[in-house]
């Protein structure tokens, strides 16, 4: 039973990280200008990606009989608040938005890395987490590539 609870806690942490990611990209979409339709579409895809991952994680939590987290992490709220303050001083240009998004993607990668370091995770859960981390790395690298291409 202890392993089930520990596994649910790990999964719930990742649910919260995906909630942070969803809110972060919704905020980023709002900060963009009308001419940034390409980024708005990309961010919408990333929101959809996190919603899909969150559902897969929540399904596993529910199967364990534990409660599913619905909020965001404290650090995620702090990060979004920092984005608000930073935007006041730096504006809403593409590079700033992409910098902020990369910061969030780094946080997601770290959360998934820490989750995979937890011992005694069932093999199917470890595989789910590893697959999501790999896919999220592709998103991270796309954000970084776009950020690096800005003047």
Look up the pTM and report it: 0.86
CB 14 within 8 A of CB 132: yes
Which residue has better confidence, 93 or 47?
A: 47
pLDDT tens, residue by residue, 19-35: 989 988 998 888 888 88
State the alpha helices, DSSP H only, in the chain.
Answer: 2-31, 37-63, 74-90, 94-116, 123-148
Q: Return the pLDDT at 1.
A: 45
Q: Return the pLDDT at 55.
A: 96
Q: Residue 3: which pLDDT band, with cuts at 50, 70 and 90?
A: low
Axis-axis angle for helices 123-148, 94-116 (nearest 10):
160
pLDDT tens, residue by residue, 96-121: 888 888 888 998 999 999 999 999 89
Give the Cβ contact number of residue 60 at 10 Å: 22
CA dist., res. 16 & res. 32, Å (int)? 24
Residue owning tokens 């998004």:
101
Which residue has better confidence, 72 or 7?
A: 7
């Amino acid at each position: 039973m202890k392993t089930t609870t520990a596994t649910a806690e790990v999964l719930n942490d990742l649910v919260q990280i995906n909630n942070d990611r969803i809110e972060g990209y919704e905020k980023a979409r709002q900060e963009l200008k009308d001419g940034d339709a390409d980024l708005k579409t990309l961010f919408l895809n990333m929101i959809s990606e996190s919603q899909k991952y969150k559902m897969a994680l929540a399904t596993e939590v529910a199967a364990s009989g534990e409660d599913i987290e619905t909020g965001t992490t404290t650090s995620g709220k702090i990060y979004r608040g920092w984005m608000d303050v930073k935007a006041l001083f730096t504006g809403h240009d593409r590079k700033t938005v992409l910098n902020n998004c990369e910061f969030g993607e780094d946080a997601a990668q770290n959360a998934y890395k820490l989750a995979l370091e937890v011992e005694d995770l069932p093999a199917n859960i470890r595989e789910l987490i590893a697959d999501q981390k790999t896919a999220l790395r592709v998103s991270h690298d796309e954000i970084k590539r776009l950020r690096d291409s800005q003047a």
